[in-house]
Structure 1
Amino acid sequence: MANTTEGASLLARALDADPRVEEDPAADRILDAALEQFVRFGLRRSTVDDVAKRAGVSRVTVYRRFGNKDGLVSACLMRESRRFLDELDAAVGGLPRMEDRVVEGFVVSLRAMQSHPLMGGLLRLEPEVVLPFLTTEGGAVLVAMREYLVRHFRETSDVTADPGPVAELMVRVVVSFLLNPESCIEVTDDDQARTFARRYLAPLLRQ
């Protein structure tokens, strides 16, 4: 299993990934199988042989493309991170105001992180593996996501506040709800999440 520092660097790479990377159908099939395997059995109980059998390829093929289990896990995490960010960009990209993008971005992030079969699923299946990425050893992950938001904030004149602290606060809020959804703040559906984000997060852009 990749360590937390490595995992954080993978997220940073996913944030900067070039979407025009040449397609590799065999690698995609292996990663599809890896995702299904990891979701059903967790990372610790899964082996390269398990993934190879599920993908219908030899273990040599998996090793040739991904090196070892850590490389396979890393590639799977990076692909899912990229997919999440693509979903996020698609949801907010057409909105004219940054305030609206923040509101919809909060809604999409909460929903996607909680329901994603790998990210949300592993948090329930193997919390001891995932929690360090989001808490004690999650500094690099926080920085990567913060800088992702900062880049977007700097593309518009709508944001008059210092983008760094605002972006970090927003990331911390999302992670907090992901780790502990029990709260007096109602964000259990999209409309409630929008109301919260518009009332408390969007005004931060103009501090």
Structure 2
Amino acid sequence: MSQRINNGAQPKAANAIPEERILDAAYQLLLTIGMQRMTMADIARQAGVSRATLYRRWGGVREVIGALTTREWSALTLAAMPADGLPPGRAPSRAQLVDGVVRLVRLIRVHPLLRRIVELDPDFLTPYLLTRRGSNTNHQLEMLETALRLAIAEGSVRAGDPALLARAVLLTAWSFTLTGPVLTGEPDGSGPESDRLDEELRLLLDRYLDGAA
């Protein structure tokens, strides 16, 4: 694919290259060879751009993959969480909120990108789990906090600090996303045991947020 692109046209200026094209190239390389073996030259060839173009945007492969995971997880978050289908300012019910979190856990857990990172490059995840918050974490916390604040005001979620509740919900979701496949014995994150575990997550979150509890 990269040869066809390179033979058909000269590499374009950095501001003329759609970022999506570069990230799509990195996605294919990650699935094929993994992050450890990937170089900026590989990404440039796959995307049909110059290495200089890449380095004007990112400092190295890990930064490119960071941008890629941000794109993928942000899209899944927007697809899974209930706010999209609600009028502005309308509070999601507790059931909608819980359904959204469980759906997001399932979507990310089975995503080929995460499965490949866990298989070949698990150390990429370590900083986001132990030392710093990434942009995806901040985005998910913001969405959860907003939804929880509205749901608390509406009465379907118990009274509490929405920021604190959002952190607790997200921490729980992370454990089911990353460690769930280890405990179920389903390394691809899908199957009957994973489905059963998702139902336990639904019950756990519903009771945790229940205003009548």
Q: Is the structural similarity TM-score above 0.5?
A: yes
Q: Contact (CA 8 Å) 1:48, 1:68: kept in 2 or not?
A: no
Q: Contact (CA 8 Å) 1:103, 1:202: kept in 2 or not?
A: yes
- Cα RMSD for the two superposed structures: 3.0
Which of these residues, 150, 158, 170, is aligned with residue 160 of structure 1? 158
Give 2:59's aligned residue: 68
What's the CA shift string for 1:146-202, capped at 9, x where partnerless? 34311111123132321233222221221112232216xx8612x762x32443211
- Distance in 2 separating the partners of 1:112 and 1:25: 29
Give 1:117's aligned residue: 112
State the shift of 1:97 in Å.
Answer: 4.3
Supply the AA of the counterpart residue of 2:168. Answer: L
Return the TM-score normalized by structure 1. Answer: 0.70
Give 2:200's aligned residue: 196
Supply the AA of the counterpart residue of 1:168. Answer: R
Q: Contact (CA 8 Å) 1:150, 1:164: kept in 2 or not?
A: yes
Return the TM-score normalized by structure 2. Answer: 0.68
State the shift of 1:73 in Å.
Answer: 3.0
Give 1:48's aligned residue: 40
Specify whether residues 94 and 169 from structure 1 end up closer, same or farther in structure 2 by C-alpha distance, changes over 3 A only: same
Specify whether residues 26 and 143 from structure 1 end up closer, same or farther in structure 2 by C-alpha distance, changes over 3 A only: closer
Specify whether residues 188 and 74 from structure 1 end up closer, same or farther in structure 2 by C-alpha distance, changes over 3 A only: closer
Tell me which of the two structures has the higher relative contact order, counting C-alpha pairs closer than 8 angstroms and 6 or more residues apart. Answer: 1
Residue 133 of structure 1 pairs with residue 128 of structure 2: yes
- Distance in 2 separating the partners of 1:52 and 1:143: 28
Q: What stretches of structure 2 of length at least 5 have no aligned partner?
A: 1-15, 185-191
Q: Give the percent of matched residue pairs that are identical in Structure 1 and Structure 2.
A: 28
Q: What stretches of structure 1 of length at least 5 have no aligned partner?
A: 1-23
Which of these residues, 85, 92, 107, is aligned with residue 94 of structure 1? 85
Q: Contact (CA 8 Å) 2:27, 2:113: kept in 1 or not?
A: yes
Q: Contact (CA 8 Å) 1:92, 1:104: kept in 2 or not?
A: no
